[in-house]
Structures are given as C-alpha cells and as structure tokens.
Structure 1
Amino acid sequence: MTTESSDDDPTGNVLRRLSDAAEHVSGICFKTGPPRRVGAELEWTTHRAGLPTAHLRVTDLSRALGPYTPANLGNAAPRALPGGGTVTLEPGGQLEISSAPADSLAALYAAVTVDQEFVADLLATGGLVLGDRGLDPYRPPVRILDTPRYAAMQHAFDRTGSVAGRTMMCSTAGLQVCLDAGTAARLPQRWAAVHDLGPPLLAAFANSSGHAGGDTGWASGRMATWLGIDARRSGEVPLTADPTDAWTRYVLEAPVLCVRRNGHWDTPDGVTFAEWIGGALPRPPTVDDLDYHISTLFPPVRPRGYLEVRYLDAQPGTEWIAPVAVLCALLADDTVIDKARDLAGPAAGRWQEAARHGLADPATGACAADLIDLACRHLDRTGLPGPVRDLVTGIADRRLHAGALRKDQYR
C-alpha cells in the first residue's frame, strides 16, 4: 500500500488514493480457510429490578460490575469474565458480552452460559437485571454514556429528523453470531447464504414488538430502527459474485460518521469516505481512520475477517442458543448450505416484511418453517449435547407455533 506521512500522522498511514483504501479493505475483510470457530456477542438492555421504567446511571452499572467494568467507563484494566468473554456497554446502558472464539458450538454454549450467569449475579448485587427483548419495552431512548464517539453519532442521527438513530443507539439489543468466512472457493456461497437466511431467521426469532410502553407495529421493532437509518450505513451489502469488491464499495461510499480529534468529532452531513480521500475534510484520512469508519457501519452481515451476523434480536434468558444453533446447523457443510439457500430463496431480500410481520408474512414464514426443519435434522452436526439440542428444537417449535397463530390473524 502506498502511504505518505504528514504532520497529522507521523506514522505514515495517510491515504491519498482510493486504490490504497480499497487495497486495505480487501486485505482485512475476509480471512479464508476451513470454517471451524464460532463466537457470539449478546446484548441486553439493563434495568432496575422491580422498576424497569427507570433510566439507569453509569455509576449504577460500574458499581455492580466492579473490576469487570469496561474500558469505555474508565476502567484501565477490565477483567475478563470466567468463561473468557468481555463486557462492553452501549450508549443507553445496554450490556454486551463478547465471547472468546470457540472451537465448537458446544464449547461456546458452555462458556457463554458461565459468563451470562456470572454477569447476572454481578448486576443483582446492585439491584439490576438484564432485559429479555431486542428493544427496550419500557423506556424511551436516553443516552447515558458521554463519549465523543456517541455524541457525534447522536448528532449525526438527530439532524436527519428521525428518532430511529437515537433509538438504535440507546434502546436496541441484538444477538450477533461470529462465523469463520470459509474457504476462498466457497466464500461467495457462504457469504450469500448468511444473507439469504436473514429474513426467515429474523422473523422466526423476532422478539421486539414493544417499545417505551407501546406497540411498535413491527414483529422486530429493533430491526425497524436499523431500517430507519441511512441505508448506506445499515443496509444490506449488495450480493455480487465478488463479496470483497462489494464490501469495499460499500465502505468507501458510506458517509463518515465522525472524525477523531480533540473536542467534537462531528463531521459535515453526507461526506463519504471516498470524498474524504478526495479532500472533502480539512485533513486527509489515515488507515486508522478507515478502520474506525468501518466500525461505524452496521449492515445485517458485516465482514470483520470473519462473518458477523447482526440481524437477530436478543433472546430471553438462555434461549440465544436456539437461533445460533439453527444458523450453525444450516451452515454445517456445502450440501446443507446449498439446500438452505434453495429453501430461503422465496424470502431473499424481504427484510422489511420479515421485520414488520415476522412469521405472519406468508413467504417468509414458509421459508422459516422449512429452514428450521432442515436445521433440526442436522443439529447433531453442531456438537451440542442431546439435552441442549432438545432445548433448541423445543424453542424453535414454539416460535413456529406462535408464528402460525399470528399468520391466522394476519389473514
């Protein structure tokens, strides 16, 4: 990569050409090889026990978490959780456990179960509890974390006149699944598969119809908020024969959300990263700026070397294992992937319909039922012990049954 040094960046990481930025993005987005590892990032809204409508303070969370308080709350040396995960906090006080990568789904389930129970116990000492929905059903969005990044994000979203951005920042809780990208030969199919599976799995595990004491009118109000912000930041990456090229274009054509500097990090509205390279902002961007820009993009599936699946709502209690196991079973091998893509085909791209109507959307609901049946027939491929596979099947059957009832009402 060709770089030039400047007074702004003595390390020599300044980007002067689009081709250099594209080279960097293409070099980090997909790390290929046989798929083996799996990880998860579990978010929850946090509440005062017995008074879930009360907004929390940062000190409420930091006191309860103690040495496990994350760095963005001022802890210089946050301690890892017993299962190997780490804690972070989102702008509205949502708590996230990021697992360590696991060599099997069974190992992931064991580690996250330990960490989830440990964090719940920590919060209980402060009279706090984890929520069980993908969108805060009790409170309107209020930002409690005051950082330059979050201040710039809120400013950028608020100037659009929509509440979706602030709601996304402060009220949503998702379940993210992290999967190896797979071999270079099969990367396009695996990348396409996790997108094709999105609307049916979103619908099957939608869990966020209420917000701030009201009904959103959406099965997944959480996804509705993501669909309500700039599609250049949160929309699906176009599916093409070359995922690397598609992602590179997405990154360069996305608006810059913030520029790190002393004071405010706000940027002019609508300036893309490509335009920043072209001189649209006072100083040229660096490679570090490009990496940071990527961290402000939130498509349903984001490449981070691995595949970060972002379209699932948070699940109640330990039920997170059900959508994760279904997804992993559907990616068990090339034959299952191809079959799953065929079954998901009629619902491909139906993000709006899946988010609004859930399984009551006829095309999406039918695909979800077929995919869950396929997944349950391959749960043994996940390595989960029998009782956990039975738990997954029971949760999936219950979701499909509830979806069938909603479909009758939808008719």
Structure 2
Amino acid sequence: MSEKAAMVTIPEQGSGPEAEPPDPGPTVLRDCADAETHVGSVCFKHGPPRLLGVELEWLLHRPPEPRSAPDAAALAAALGPHAPPGLSPNSPAAPLPSGSTVTVEPGGQVELASPPSPDLATLLQAVTADTAALHERLAAAGLHPTPRATDPVRPPRRILQLPRYDAMEESFDRRGPYGRSAMCSTAAVQVCLDPGEPCDLGARWAALHALGPVLLAAFANSPTLHGRHTGWKSSRWVCWQSADPARTAPPPAADAGGADPTRAWARRVLDTPVLAVRRPGRWLVPRGITFAEWVRGALPEPPTTADLEYHITTLFPPVRPHGHLEVRYVDAQPGRRWALPVAVLVALMSDPATVDQVRAVCAPAAGRWTSGARHGLSDRVLARAAGSVFELALRRLPAVGAPQWVVDDLADMHEHQVLRGRCPADDPDLPGGPTS
C-alpha cells in the first residue's frame, strides 16, 4: 500500500465523548528498526503459558481410485457449511461442533484448526470430536484421509486458484519443482503453544528447536512421493526445505539457542525476500528483494505494517512465531496418532525443569535435521535422544492430564518403534510403506 493510499479522509465526527476516532489504517514503514519492533510486538505475545492448539492436515483420496483427486466443487460440496470462503465464496464457514474451523490447502488437503484450549484433555476431546465429524462428512462423499504425510501416488495439482497461491507457485518455481509438491502434496501436524514469560522465552524457544530433529525423525511418515520411494523417511521435510530455504530452513544454531529469539527472528523476517506485494488488481512477485530492502526504497511504494504482517505469513520455518509458537516439523500421522506429537510437546514444555531436561537430552542431536529426515531413527544419535525424550514425556503425561488412551498409545509407540529405532515410515502396513 502506498503512503497516499494509507492516508484517510477524516469524516465529520460527533463532538460527544462517545465519538471514536477513525481507524488511521496501516502505518507506513520507513525505518528497519521500526519494522523490527513491529515484528516483535506481533509475533511474541508474552505471558504465562495457558493455551494450547493444533492444526491437522490430511491429503484425501478415493479408495477405489487412488489416482483420483477431489476437485474444488466436489470438496466444497463435501464440506458443506464448513467450507472456507477461499473454496466456496458464499459459504458461512461454520465451525465444526466443538469449535474447530476448516480450511483447504492448495492441493485440496483439508486442514482442521482447533480453538485454543486451556489444557491437553480439553484439546484432545474437542479435536477428536471435530475430526470424527469432519471425516464423516468427507466419507459420505467418498473421500478418505491418506495415512501418509506426502501423496504417494499423484503428481502435484493445485485446485485453489487464489492470488496467494499464484504468487507462491511463481516464486517457488524459480527454484525448481519442490515448491509445487510442498504446496499440494504434503500434510503435517502443527502444534501451537504459548511463548511464555520473557524470562522463559529463550529456554522454550531453544527446547522446541532442540526437539526438532528428534521428533522429525521419530514421527517421520512420508517415504514415498509421486509414485516413487524417495530414500527419505520424511519426504515432506525435503519438499519444504528445497522449495525456498530462506523461508523454510531451521535457524542457525546461535539463533535457535539464543537468549533473545525476538531480535533474531525480527532480523530473519527483514532479511527474507518478499514473496508478494499485494496491490489492487494484481499481486507482484519481486525477485530477491528482502523486506529490509523494500523498507529502504527498493520498490516504488514503501511497505506498511500490514505488508509486514503478511510477509511474516510467507515464512515457513520449523518453529514459527505467530503470537503463539507454531511447531511445524512433524509429519501428518495415521488415524488417531495425531494426538501423540501433541501430547509429547505439551508434556515436555509443561514446566521449566522439564524444558531444561529436554535441552540436555537433545544436545547430542543438535542440528541433525537432515539426518532425521533421511534416516529417521536409524540415526543412532537421534534414536538415543528419542528414547530419553519419550520416557520423559511419558512421566509427565499424568501431570498434564493426558487421557489413558494417549498414555497407552505413546507407551506402545515407545516400546515398538522408538526403542527399536523405527518410525512410522518403516511401517509396511501403511500404503507407501517399505514393502509396498
């Protein structure tokens, strides 16, 4: 938005105390220091950790026709009143019975976003109910969730024709084919946690990044993509990391474990190239211009705070600050096992002493993101760390109110997979498994 467009004409107002000043609109940014300050204010909402959330994504298929993908009209009809406006413009976008909302990703993946919950039991109960309601609607239309985190058969095909996805595709295509696969052929479990008080933020941020390679490996669930075995346990991770590393890569070790993640994240936001400049009638997709360079005048019209907030949504690192901390490194899981990474993360981030233990047991596995994605728990360093992490989580689950079925499922995974150096990608009983 230009400076001129950001200005408003002030209408006549009443003079009484009830009169409210008009909204001045987004602020034009002309200084990188102001932009960094704004990043910190919108990305980190401090306070005691109180709320939890999760976003679940599923690739869909029709069992008799594995290569058949739903088109936009069929998916909109299946979702009915829960369809998002981007898929069905006249939809009321009604929440599911327990309050979760439904969105759709570019390739037709369906996403459920839970309401913020005060505790793990409430979260799991709401999401379990809403997942059942959502899958029942989809099943009535012949659509079923794929148990893997990447599409094992079909090539990427975008069904949503929206300016955001047009811009992402144009930008990603400059680097190669991985962006289309990431957008259209992957699914994840994304866990949302409060950042915590300023004095605890650095430790919580460091612990979530220390856990990254370990949980990436333990929950890796995407060994096949587009009809072939890729040689990676998490092909989803490879797609996103190859699409645009400036946007998706883990932070350097100093930033992942630093005491002041707010400043490090603000620098990263400003140093990342702008994916899209939203303007009426046409979105621009500039080449290689960082947001800091935009602030300094690299584009004809200066950016506003609204432009900056949108730019933040085009970064997809393993842990993304969104007011809350959005953990993005876990592959989608089969059946009800989506609850296990949620429970593990909630348990391990439940108190400062546990956070410190997490950092200690994960320290030997620091930075092993690529090995975790390629080898899963065949990497012995990651396997040892995962064994300790799962034991710690199991000990903490009663304190965070985990229901018994979650405790049992996690104990089963610990015994039959983690302690044996295996991950879901090694399961031959799932489509796309090692013997498929």
Q: Is the 8 A contact 2:104 2:110 kept in 1?
A: yes
- Other structure's SS at 2:102 match: strand
1:388 Cα shift? 2.7
1:91 Cα shift? 0.4
What does 1:164-243 correspond to in 2, within 5 Å?
164-237=178-251, 238-239=255-256, 240-243=258-261
Structure-1 separation of matches of 2:29 and 2:86? 28
Once the two structures are superposed, what CA deviation does each residue of 1:305-330 show, in whole Å capped at 9, x if it has no partner?
11100000000011011111111111
Distance verdict in 2 for CA 1:92–1:402, change over 3 Å = farther
Choose the corresponding residue for 1:339, options 349, 357, 360.
357
Q: Does 1:153 align with 2:168?
A: yes
1:375 Cα shift? 1.1
Q: How many residues align?
A: 403
1:25 Cα shift? 0.6
Q: Is the 8 A contact 2:29 2:35 kept in 1?
A: yes
Structure-2 separation of matches of 1:92 and 1:196? 31
Structure-1 separation of matches of 2:99 and 2:185? 26
Choose the corresponding residue for 1:92, options 107, 110, 124.
107
Q: Which moved more, 1:146-155 or 1:225-234?
A: 225-234
- Other structure's SS at 2:278 match: coil
Q: Which moved more, 1:10-19 or 1:394-403?
A: 394-403
Q: Give the structure 1 partner of residue 131 of structure 2.
A: 116
Q: Is the 8 A contact 1:4 1:15 kept in 2?
A: no
- Other structure's SS at 1:33 match: coil
Q: Is the 8 A contact 1:257 1:293 kept in 2?
A: yes
Q: Which moved more, 1:83-92 or 1:266-275?
A: 266-275
Q: Give the structure 2 partner of residue 307 of structure 1.
A: 325
Q: What is the percentage of aligned positions where both structures have the same residue?
A: 49
Q: Is the 8 A contact 1:133 1:316 kept in 2?
A: yes
Structure-1 separation of matches of 2:414 and 2:225? 24
Amino acid at match of 1:321: A
Q: Does 1:63 align with 2:84?
A: no
Once the two structures are superposed, what CA deviation does each residue of 1:253-297 show, in whole Å capped at 9, x if it has no partner?
011111112344232211111111111122111111111100010
Q: Give the structure 1 partner of residue 407 of structure 2.
A: 389
Structure-1 separation of matches of 2:330 and 2:339? 12
What's the TM-score, normalizing by structure 2? 0.89
Q: Which moved more, 1:209-218 or 1:234-243?
A: 234-243
1:182 Cα shift? 1.1
- Other structure's SS at 2:364 match: helix
Q: Give the structure 2 partner of residue 274 of structure 1.
A: 292
- Other structure's SS at 2:54 match: strand
Q: Give the structure 1 partner of residue 374 of structure 2.
A: 356
Structure-2 separation of matches of 1:148 and 1:333? 42
1:54 Cα shift? 1.2
Structure-1 separation of matches of 2:3 and 2:275? 24
What's the TM-score, normalizing by structure 1? 0.94
Q: Give the structure 1 partner of residue 20 of structure 2.
A: none
Distance verdict in 2 for CA 1:397–1:322, change over 3 Å = farther
1:387 Cα shift? 3.0
- Other structure's SS at 2:136 match: helix
Q: What RMSD over aligned residues (CA atoms) do the two structures have, in Å?
A: 1.7
- Other structure's SS at 1:256 match: coil
Structure-2 separation of matches of 1:203 and 1:131? 20
Amino acid at match of 1:324: V
Choose the corresponding residue for 1:321, options 316, 339, 343.
339
Q: Is the 8 A contact 2:26 2:305 kept in 1?
A: no
Q: Give the structure 1 partner of residue 52 of structure 2.
A: 38
**Structure of greater Rg:** 2
Distance verdict in 2 for CA 1:57–1:9, change over 3 Å = farther
Q: Give the structure 2 partner of residue 409 of structure 1.
A: none
Q: Give the structure 1 partner of residue 389 of structure 2.
A: 371
Amino acid at match of 2:273: P
Q: Which moved more, 1:21-30 or 1:241-250?
A: 21-30
- Other structure's SS at 1:200 match: helix
Amino acid at match of 2:4: S
- Other structure's SS at 1:265 match: strand
1:28 Cα shift? 1.5
